[in-house]
Amino acid sequence: DTEVTQTPKHLVMGMTNKKSLKCEQHMGHRAMYWYKQKAKKPPELMFVYSYEKLSINESVPSRFSPECPNSSLLNLHLHALQPEDSALYLCASSQESWEQPQHFGDGTRLSIL
Amino acid sequence: TQLLEQSPQFLSIQEGENLTVYCNSSSVFSSLQWYRQEPGEGPVLLVTVVTGGEVKKLKRLTFQFGDARKDSSLHITAAQPGDTGLYLCAGVKKGTYKYIFGTGTRLKVLA
């Protein structure tokens, strides 16, 4: 069982919908990450939060909006997504910013109609 | 430009065979991690290598970090169907902040 929990596991939404992905960890980690993974490709970094503050945004379109309400939770708010945004969205955490190893959740498989 | 190139991209072998996966870069890395990812799941950490020339063993898996910390290898002895998955190396290039993944090696072990 993964120590990083992501919900929902699957999400299908239209291009005009607003939805949120959720991630939770209780390992006391202070860095949390969002990655996007397309089929048969490695994960690509989207955002990094360190001590609940956004420290890195890898030029992600504004239709993706991250939020870190507290040290255990990380959300990704979605609005007006495009079909090419369909992918597996992975959350990860590590003890300190960029300190390895990173612990990954099982991801949310997102499909945009 | 992909900083971490893995080879081979795909590998299909019979149970009991040995194999080696390579992770190469022209850049120095502070450390490298190896992950295995199975369908429908997130990557699971296998090992971290930190010191140049370091060798780590995890049951039938042997990991090596190159002397110059620019490359790494994963050797699997007597592969089993349970070893099937996507193998990813990853790390932070020395002097940067960005954590990057290798191009991945998709392994299938046939019973």
Q: Does A66 touch chain B (CB under 8 A)?
A: no
Contact B48, B65 (CB under 8 A): no
Of A4, A56, A105, the CB nearest to B97: A56
| pLDDT tens-digit readout, A34-54 | 999 999 899 999 999 999 999
Question: In A, which residues are within 8 Å of B41 by CB distance?
Answer: 2, 106-107
Q: Do B101 and A43 touch (CB under 8 A)?
A: yes
Q: Is a pLDDT exceeding 70 seen at residue A2?
A: no
Of B45, B88, B106, the CB nearest to A101: B45
Instruction: Please give the Cα distance from B66 to B51 (Å, whole number).
Output: 9
DSSP state of A101: P
Pairing type for strands B5-7 and A103-104 reads unpaired
DSSP state of A89: E
| Mutation site, A36, A102, A103, interface B, largest B CB count within 10 A | A102
The pLDDT value recorded for residue B38 is: 92
DSSP state of B39: T
| pLDDT tens-digit readout, A53-93 | 998 888 899 999 999 999 899 999 999 999 999 999 999 99
Predicted confidence band at A99 (pLDDT cuts at 50, 70, 90)? low
Q: Is a pLDDT exceeding 90 seen at residue A100?
A: no
Q: Do A103 and B99 touch (CB under 8 A)?
A: no
The pLDDT value recorded for residue B66 is: 96
Instruction: Please give the Cα distance from B9 to A59 (Å, whole number).
Output: 28
Of A33, A92, A100, the CB nearest to B48: A100
Q: Does A83 touch chain B (CB under 8 A)?
A: no
Which residues, including other chains, have CB under 8 Å from residue A37's CB and lie 6 or more apart? A43, A44, A87, A88, A89, A90, A107
Q: Do A42 and B44 touch (CB under 8 A)?
A: no
| Mutation site, B41, B72, B89, interface A, largest A CB count within 10 A | B41
Question: In A, which residues are within 8 Å of B98 by CB distance?
Answer: 45, 56
Q: Does A53 touch chain B (CB under 8 A)?
A: no
Provide the token pair at B36.
């295995």
The pLDDT value recorded for residue B39 is: 86
Distance of CA B80 to the CA centre of its chain: 17
The pLDDT value recorded for residue B1 is: 57
Q: Do B44 and A56 touch (CB under 8 A)?
A: no
Instruction: Please give the Cα distance from B99 to B97 (Å, whole number).
Output: 7
Question: In A, which residues are within 8 Å of B107 by CB distance?
Answer: none
The pLDDT value recorded for residue A51 is: 92
Which residues, including other chains, have CB under 8 Å from residue A91's CB and lie 6 or more apart? A4, A6, A21, A23, A32, A33, A34, A35, A74, A104, A105, A107
Tokens 């072990």, located at residue? B109
The sign one gets for the Cα dihedral B9, A98, B57, B111 is negative
Tokens 């190159």, located at residue? B66
How does B67-77 read in b/e, with b if 16+ C-beta sit within 10 Å? eebbbbbbbbe
Average pLDDT over residues A16-28: 94
The pLDDT value recorded for residue B2 is: 65
Give per-10-residue mean pLDDT for chain B (111 aa). 88 97 94 92 93 95 96 97 96 83 96 94
